[in-house]
Structure 1
Amino acid sequence: MAIQLLESERIAILNGITPSELNDWRNSVLTHERLQQDSAEQLATDATDHFLEGWPMVGQKNWLSLLENRLPKFSTKEMSDSLKGLTNNQPNIWLIGHDSTVQPDHSELKNWLMEAEITLEENSLDPIEKTIDWSISSDMEGTIISTEQSAHQITTWTLGNGMTVHFKYSNQAPGKVYYSLVGKNGLNALSSEESIIARLALPAIGLSGLRNLDGTELQQWLGNHSITLTPYYNFFSRGISASSTSAEVDTLLNLLHVSLTEGSVSPKTWDSVKEQNENYLKAHLNSSSKNWLGIVDSALYLNDPALRTLELQELESITPNGIQNIYDTYFKGAQNYTLAIVGDVSLDKVRSEVLRAVATLAKSEHDSTPPSKTRNYPNPTSSVTLAVSGNGTQSASVVLRYSLSKTKAVQFTEVELALMASWVREELTLAIREKAGLTYNISAVLDGQTIFQDSYTLIISTNTDPANTKELIEEIDSTLTALLTIQPPVLKVQNWLDSMEADHKQALNAAEQQAAVISGAEIYGRKVAKSFEPLTVSNNFTPSFLTNALRGFLSKEAVRTQLTWLP
């Protein structure tokens, strides 16, 4: 099977790159590079390459400019010819396995290769795409009730159908536009039965396609037109993220309208999705990770149906009608949605398209969920220590979680708690990796920033030799206890804050990320403008704040969960 897969890939290369594949690659490269900035490490690497190999020293800004100028000029023929030159010869195949693996003899290898032979296709072009009309019609007249200009050049429109739309101009990705649609409340607003259906509803509807295109044809059409369209439904929210060229912004918002009015599931597609998930669940029953996922489901997710592993009988109970009902009730129409549009397109153009394609969405009968009917993200209520075996590797995975109710941490800002995690990570790295040599890497992160999480959680995770598991956990505990008697140096705290702020700025440099931050601000309990402001600490902040914050996570009021996954 492995040889057949490799041969399939080699023949696919010889067949040539399709226009949609080239577009996808080009877009992914540019998206990645637009997020990058010059760093001291990268500049040092560039200088070394220049000195040793004569490679030109090109800063990130000039490098991006070169890519934006050159990549659009690449043709499928040019790329395919280059690849054929590299792969046209017969490949050498090396089989590498464990010492205990029985090695095939020459005749077996020859048979495998003959079975894997795949014939070159006559042409390498994408299939001819279907003609599709994305025009929309609505009985509603689109209206804007109010317009607000806020900080950071963000324009906000409140629409007559109750939706809120934010627009921010950005040429960070020239000729591109992004949107992020977010509806407050996701699986946390559904019953147990609805949660199970909703987890698979959007994948099934997405694979069913739109209008006269099935799922495969839709993805091909989107790729050929450099458009992305990704619906989602998670614990906290539901919505769509999408992008296109600036010239296609009208089509992009037409697709938003169609996605929120015409979604449906094909019974045939659902049968295929169900079969894939059945195969996964059956494999899960016999997998080495079954016991580990079992304790994660019970100890961390408290067996919440929105998060835990599904059961086969639950999958069997899902029907196309049930999926359609989830879409019609919780996804369709103008619900409690916030739409953020960011990109290289004019304010007037966006306003006219919003009036035409977004403000004309009919208001849903189910446009919000009362807070009394939502539930917070599950969090362990009592400390527990659990260990299972069967991870299939030669090392043990250790996860320590310290959860503290937000009511016990009101005196600290989230920035200060994140600084505490940075301090813990640095001190654990010094004690456990550098001094004790018990692990190669150890992380400490803070979780709990959404409004649907009633606790902050300090999560420490690492891997170690199974024989050192007990010693490692004891070393973590003793290091954390020792930190309660000291406070970090002022200079180090400032360095951590500077690093966090640099990461914050770099993330917000991307137009796509700006759209996500604006649309999701409510989920994190923030004002939109606040998300764009520099990270700060309290006016009376001192490094002792970090010591006191850690004291709360190690106190009896916190819940400690210790999970160990052994070979």
Structure 2
Amino acid sequence: MQAQTIDLQSKVPIDPNVRIGKLPNGMTYYIKKNAKPEHRCELRLVVNAGSMMETNNQLGLAHLQEHMCFNGTKNFKKSELVDYLESIGTRFGADLNAYTSFDETVYMLQLPTDTESVFLKGFQVIEDWAHNVTDDNSEIDKERGVVVEEWRLGQGADERMRRKYFPVLLNGSRYADRLPIGTKESILGAPCDTLKSFYKTWYRPDLMAVVVVGDIDVDKIETLIKAHFAEIQNPSNEKPRFTSTIPDHNDLKVSVCTDKEASYSLVEINFKQPVPESNTIGDYRNSMISNLATSMLNDRYSELIQQNNPPFNFAGSYFGSVVRAKNAFTAYCVVPDNGIEKGLSTLLTEIKRVKDFGYTSTELDRAKQSVLRSYETMFNEKDKTESKSLVREYVSNFLEQEPIPGIDWEYNTAKNLLPGITLEEINKMIDSWITDGKNCVIIVTAPEKIGVTVPTEDAVKTIFSHVNNTAVEKYTDKVSDKPLTNSIPIPGKVAKETSDAENGITTWTLSNGAKIVFKQTDFKNDEILFNAFSWGGTSLYSDDDFMCANNADGIVDNSGLGNYDDVELSKYTSNMVLSISPNIGELTEGLDGSCSVKDLENLLQFANLYFTAPRKDSTSFNSFISQMITQLQNKNNQPGAVFSDSLTSIMYSYNPRYKPMTEQMLSQIKLTRAYNIFRERFSDPADFTFVFVGSVTPESLKPLVEKYIGGIPSKGKTETYKDNNIKWMNGNFNKKVMKGTEPKSTVAMLYLSPFEYNRYNRNELNAFMKLLNIKLRETLREDMSGVYGVSASPQMVHYPKSQCRIIVYFSCSPENVDALVGAAKKVIAEIMANGCDDKNLLKVKELMLKGRESDLKENRFWLSLITSSLKDNEQVSEIKNFNSQIDALKSDDFKRLALKYFDNKNYGQVVLYPEK
């Protein structure tokens, strides 16, 4: 198929491997067999109705109804639905969830498919959601409190400013008055019958789709769908599902919003556009043109960020949805204090530069190569694509008619269409987006504080007009023709090989002392994950050097590699599927990366250059410091940031190395010292272990690691970390942090204990945390309606001292703090007294075993497992004992673990309260 022979008016086909049907009652269904992950299936119930369907007395009730679907149906009374799904290993939140937006409500469920009775019962859940939710009055009233706590979580500076600029952006449309969370008054006060009316009106088959993707038999699923959903009736006198529009406007609109708790200044320019058609191949081609246009503009913005005194510290653009009824070409930037005018002017100037002169041929070539590599990666993984990814496409097809031709068609079509896309077409599309103010809205949000000047709406309009009427120069695309490096490594050799045949892991020791550990897998077709580590880190440096050591990785990573600065390197790698970055932590330093099979040599060359040719670049350093200043200038305005910093300081006994970063502390970071520390940390490969997992063969890896890792000069020196005696806070303490104006508290309950660090103990404690999270959710959320979410997590540390800290974390109303803390302690005390009941013991085991079953098929799990085993001097083969250990857990084990790790002598809590 040649590009010139494609009929652009022909329809984009539908993937023939997706079975799509419609029942007589109007319900649509999508079914696709997909084997990743094995023995799992993703189900979605899609309701084409959200908060836009609410009447004025139903605000927030679309979302409350979503919650009620988990609180009682015809076949699952009250909490039985969640109880049952957890008992088969389905994780609440991760595998069982839902969301409500303006225009839709979507229910998400993952089920195991290897036991038919379990799958069939789980399938009953989505039928019940569709038409058999009981909406019991007492359960509704209980759930109101949970939804209010979700509302409370969203309150703060961003929400206050959003409510000011949203009506301007949406030009008085109904959307502006239908934020899905609703209002506290409506959530608490709406009559139960008003909620039930919403469910009866809008939960109906002609507005629904069922999507099933996974390790399934398509014919059987279609039969199931018909059996469960064909008899559901649409209501008589049904209300039409209406759509709302956003009115056009001829003039530029501006909204300037400030707030005392805002953490940064943001500029956003929106040129609103109609939602483009997506039916034909020509439409598909237009979407490729828009993606190319914004990606090239983003590259130009990124180049500006690398200046000595950048106009903004982050910037980007995209063409996409504002709401379902309207798209926009949007450009945005985050700027330092008093930098709004400069940031706005620069954003607009670059847009005008593109409008006046378009892009260059070299920019377009790079953008096309990058897009094609993205398609290629998806094509290479077509039989290893996760079901969750596919199911999102089919949901979008139902709701927004997003094409679903399948990756075979998309990759082949991209290869044929991309070469024919011209600069003139891209420039024409950009020109069609940009106006002299028509349907354009500029939003400015900023902190309200002394010394920060924020432009008025008239001043913003003046800048817009000035840039539009000022001549700009044509962009010059500077592409380096230098080699990445002037030196060619002298290859080393594999001096020793050992093998762990049981786990498929091979270790090579190279002639320069570096260790290479790799595991070839077939979990993905085109994914190689990589890390490297060595002991030392910031622990080896004095307090005076700490700021330089702690930021050396970011400074060097921001500076490019070899002969290329960061901008040149970005252009050089535009056609690569590759990422790599250095890290320097408290006890270790290393590299993290990933690549496609094709780019393995590039990954290893970059790894080599971090040892042999890192860059010291004053321009990049100044850009780095400028970005840090912007991050820190207003951090203390934000209650959450103040709480997080306070919590960290307290947990580490106010050690200066865990002191909250401030703008003033940046003066301690010196380029030369930071660079020299980096060189010291990455000076000797003999001290490093390099780990590779994924689509890597020994035949392809061996010559490359011999050249690029074996070719790094070695001194044969090894190091370890230094114990600086950084103490964790122990004993009893109760700290209050006073910050913010919203009636919102955040609670951290901390338990510190000694810990014998080994895999067996870690498995036990992780199992205990599953139980604790379930019990805390049942008590604090479901029984008390006092929180939206609560989490308990362990921090298990081996070095320099083996110890454990468990944190119970939740947000709530300030007046409920004491009651909820007391309830959480009571949950722990009950486990101490009674252990684990049979129902929850089954849940814990299934959650642990199902989770491990999935993990064993993931490259990232194996990379983490191998790396941690090497660091902790453990055997990877110990994981074979996991299932038997979990199966053997008994009720009394949880009693023992509660008594062991929840010592009230080492209990502390830190609570955020609003300022008086």
* TM interval, short-chain normalised: 0.7 to 0.9
- Kindly state the Cα deviation for residue 204 of structure 1 after the two structures are TM-superposed: 1.1
SS at match of 1:208: coil
Provide the rounded CA distance (Å) in 2 between the counterparts of 1:33 and 1:196: 45
> Would the aligned equivalents of 1:134 and 1:254 in 2 still touch at CA under 8 Å?
no
Does residue 427 (structure 1) correspond to residue 775 (structure 2)? The answer is: yes
- Residue 707 of structure 2 corresponds to 356
**Cα distance, 1:201 vs. partner?**
0.6
Question: Contact conserved, 2:579 with 2:594, CA < 8 A, in 1?
Answer: yes
1:333 partner letter: D
Does the Cα contact within 8 Å between 2:523 and 2:859 map onto a contact in 1? Answer: yes
Deviations 1:241-273 (A, max 9, x none): 223332232222122111111113223332332
1:93-104 alignment runs, 5 A limit: 93=441
Change (3 A) 1:217 1:48: closer
TM superposition shift of 1:530: 4.0
Deviation at 1:502, TM superposition (A): 3.1
Tell me, yes or no, if structure 1 residue 565 matches structure 2 residue 916: no
| Distance of 2:850 and 2:868 partners within structure 1 | 21
Which amino acid is 1:464 matched to? Answer: C
1:263-309 deviation digits (Å, cap 9, x = unpaired)? 13223332332343345444446665675355324311223344332
Alignment pair present for 1:178 and 2:529: yes
Structure 1: which 5+ residue stretches go unaligned? Answer: none
**TM-score normalized with structure 2 length:** 0.53
2:674 to 323, 333, 337: 323
Q: Does 1:497 align with 2:845?
A: yes
Per the alignment, residue 479 of structure 1 pairs with 827
Match of residue 464, structure 1, among 806, 812, 828: 812
Could you tell me which residue of structure 1 aligns to residue 892 of structure 2?
544
% identical equivalent positions: 14
The residue matched to 1:413 in structure 2 has which SS?
Answer: helix
1:150-169 equivalent positions in 2, closer than 5 A: 150-169=501-520
For 1:323 and 1:222, locate their aligned partners in 2 and report how far apart those are by CA, in whole Å: 26
Equivalent residue number for residue 202 of structure 1: 553
Q: Tell me what 2:766 maps to.
A: 418
Distance change >3 Å, CA 176–CA 140, structure 1 → 2: closer
Structure 1 CA distance for aligned equivalents of residues 586 and 694 of structure 2 = 28
> Alignment partner of 1:363: what SS?
coil
Structure 1 residue aligned with 2:747: 398
**Contact 2:845–2:886 under 8 Å retained in 1:** no
Matched residue SS, 2:506: strand
- Tell me the CA shift for residue 498 of structure 1: 2.7
Q: Identify the residue that residue 579 of structure 2 maps to in structure 1.
A: 228
Selected match of 2:538 from 180, 187, 210: 187
Query: Where do 5+ consecutive residues of structure 2 fail to align?
Result: 1-264, 272-315, 318-328, 332-350, 449-454
SS in 2 for 1:350: helix
Task: Summarize the Cα distance change of 1:73–1:142 in structure 2 as closer, same or farther, 3 Å threshold.
Answer: farther
For the structure 1 residues 178 and 483, does the alpha-carbon distance in structure 2 shift closer, same or farther, using more than 3 Å as the test? closer
For residue 448 of structure 1, give the secondary structure of its aligned residue in structure 2.
Answer: strand
Task: Note the C-alpha offset of 1:71.
Answer: 7.2
Deviation at 1:436, TM superposition (A): 1.1
Pair 464,513 (structure 1): closer, same or farther in 2 beyond 3 Å: same
Secondary structure of the 2:685 match is: coil
Query: Residue 836 of structure 2 aligns to a residue in which SS?
Result: coil
Pair 38,519 (structure 1): closer, same or farther in 2 beyond 3 Å: same
Matched residue type, 1:444:
A
Equivalent pair of 2:479/2:571 in contact (CA under 8 Å): no
Task: Note the C-alpha offset of 1:171.
Answer: 3.9
Cα distance in 2 between the residues matched to 1:305 and 1:32: 47
Higher deviation after alignment, 328-337 or 29-38: 29-38
Contact (CA 8 Å) 1:179, 1:512: kept in 2 or not?
Answer: no
**Map of 1:369-408 to 2, 5 A cutoff?**
369=720, 373-375=722-724, 378-391=727-740, 393-407=742-756
CA displacement, residues 430-477 of structure 1 (integer Å, 9 cap, x when unaligned): 111111111111111222154445222221111101121222212222
Paired with 1:562 and 1:481, the residues of 2 have a C-alpha distance of 17
Q: Kindly indicate whether residue 488 of structure 2 is the aligned counterpart of residue 488 of structure 1.
A: no
CA distance in structure 2 between the aligned counterparts of 1:118 and 1:32, rounded to whole angstroms: 49
Is the contact made by 1:144 and 1:355 (CA closer than 8 Å) also made in structure 2? no
Report how far residue 499 of structure 1 moved.
2.1
Secondary structure class of the residue paired with 1:325: helix
- Asked which structure has the greater RCO (Cα within 8 Å, sep 6+), the reply is 1
Whole-angstrom distance in 2 between the partners of 1:403 and 1:20: 52
Within a 5 Å distance, the mapping from 1:58-457 to structure 2 comes to 75=418, 77=421, 90-91=438-439, 93=441, 110-111=461-462, 113-114=464-465, 128=479, 130-134=481-485, 136-138=487-489, 141-284=492-635, 288=639, 291-293=642-644, 295-310=646-661, 314-364=665-715, 366-369=717-720, 373-375=722-724, 378-391=727-740, 393-407=742-756, 413-452=761-800, 454-457=802-805
Q: CA deviation at 1:48?
A: 9.1
Give the distance between the partners of 2:412 and 2:734, measured in 1 at CA.
56
Relative to structure 1, the CA distance from residue 529 to residue 483 in structure 2 (aligned partners, 3 Å threshold; closer, same or farther) is closer
- Relative to structure 1, is the Cα distance of residues 6 and 349 closer, same or farther in structure 2, using a 3 angstrom cutoff? same
Superposed displacement of residue 552, structure 1: 2.1
Cα deviation for residue 516 of structure 1 reads 4.0
Shift of 1:479: 2.5
Closer, same or farther in 2 for the Cα pair 1:541/1:81, shift >3 Å? farther
* Contact 1:176–1:245, Cα closer than 8 Å, also in 2: yes
Change (3 A) 1:509 1:561: same
Task: Name the aligned partner's letter for residue 193 of structure 1.
Answer: D
Alpha-carbon distance between aligned partners in 2 of 1:208 and 1:297, rounded to the nearest angstrom: 30
2:528–2:693 Cα contact (<8 Å) kept: yes
CA distance in 2, matches of 1:75, 1:125: 23
Q: Name the CA shift for 1:125/1:436 in 2 (closer, same or farther; >3 Å).
A: farther
CA distance in 1, matches of 2:489, 2:427: 48
Aligned partner letter, 1:91: N
Q: 1:313 to 1:390 in 2, by over 3 A?
A: closer
**CA shift digits 1:398-421 (9 cap, x unpaired):** 1111111115x9896211111111
Partner AA of 2:863 in structure 1: A
Contact 2:740 2:913 in 1 (8 A): yes
Question: Is residue 648–residue 658 contact of structure 2 (8 Å, CA) maintained in 1?
Answer: yes
1:348 deviates by 1.2
TM superposition shift of 1:170: 2.8
Report if the CA contact (8 A) 2:267-2:445 is conserved. Answer: no
Q: Give the TM-score normalised by the residue count of structure 1.
A: 0.81
Q: Which residue of 2 aligns with 1:515?
A: 863
SS of residue paired to 1:93: strand
Counterpart amino acid of residue 808 in structure 2: I
Q: CA, structure 1 residues 230+517, in 2 after alignment: closer, same or farther (shift >3 Å)?
A: farther
Deviation of 1:125 after TM superposition, in Å, equals 11
Alignment match, 1:506:
854
- Other-structure match for 2:300: none
Contact preservation (8 Å) 1:383, 1:560: yes
Deviation of 1:155 after TM superposition, in Å, equals: 1.4
Q: CA deviation at 1:564?
A: 0.6
1:349–1:49: structure 2 CA closer, same or farther, 3 Å change rule? closer
Contact 2:753 2:901 in 1 (8 A): yes
Q: Quote the Cα distance in structure 1 between the aligned partners of 2:588 and 2:859.
A: 21
| Cα distance in structure 2, aligned partners of 1:166 and 1:411 | 21
Amino acid at match of 2:604: L
